[in-house]
Structure 1
Amino acid sequence: MVVSSEETFGPLAAITKFKTEDEVIKRANSVKVGLASYLMTTDLNRYHRVTERLEFGMVAVNTGVIADHGAPFGGVKHSGFGREGSKYGCDDYLVHKTIVTGGIDTKYNSLL
C-alpha cells in the first residue's frame, strides 16, 4: 500500500492490522522516509516500548497534532535531518566556538 510507505502530506491515515508489536514496528521502520509516525494506545507500557523503537523524527501518541512551537520539527532517513523550530532549529544557523582563557595576571603579561 503506497500510502503506508510514502510521505503523503495529506489528511489521510494508513490503518493496518498487526499481531505483534515486533511485526508492526518492523513494518513501520522498513520505509525509506521517517518524518512522522502516529500511535493510538491506552497501554502506557506499550507507549514507551513502541515510541522508543520507531525510527521517525516525530511520534504522536493518541493525537493527530504533532507540531508545537516549543518542539523540534524534522525527520530522519530520506525525510532529511536537522530540526526546524524550537531552540534546536536555531542550531543550524549557529557556529559554536569554544574560547578558553587562563588567568589574567600571569607571567605572560610581559608578552602582551
Structure 2
Amino acid sequence: MATLSLPVEDFVGNLAQHLPAGKVSEVMRILQGADLYLACACATGEPSALRAFEQHVLRHIPARLGRLPPNMLEEVLQVLRERLLVASGNTPPRIASDRGRGPLLSWVGIVAARISGGGW
C-alpha cells in the first residue's frame, strides 16, 4: 500500500472513537488496522490516501457488482466516491464511520451494491 502522511495522533484519535468501552481487547483482535488507517486518511482528504483507495479498493468494485452497463458502472463509482469521500455540511465523509472490524473492500462493496440497486 502507498505511504500515507496521516499523523499518528489523528489515527489514534480516530481509533479511540471506535473502541467500545469494555471490549477493547476483543475489538483489537479483529481490527483491520491497515484498512482503518486508510479510511481515516481518506476522511481527512489526504491525496495519497485517496489514490490508494482508488487503487486498492475501488478498482475491485466492478467485479463485485457483476455485469452492469459501462455507463451505469461509472455512475455507481462516482456516486460511491461522493457518498463515502465527501463531507456534507458539518458531517464528515461517511468513510470516517468505518470501524475497521471487517475488510474495507467488503464494506465498500456492500455500499456499491446498494447504490447500484437503488438503495442508500
Which structure is higher in RCO with an 8 Å CA cutoff and minimum separation 6?
2
Q: Which has the larger radius of gyration?
A: 1
After TM superposition, the score normalised by the length of structure 1 is 0.25
After TM superposition, the score normalised by the length of structure 2 is 0.24
Relative to its length, the structure with more helix (as a share) is 2
Relative to its length, the structure with more strand (as a share) is 1
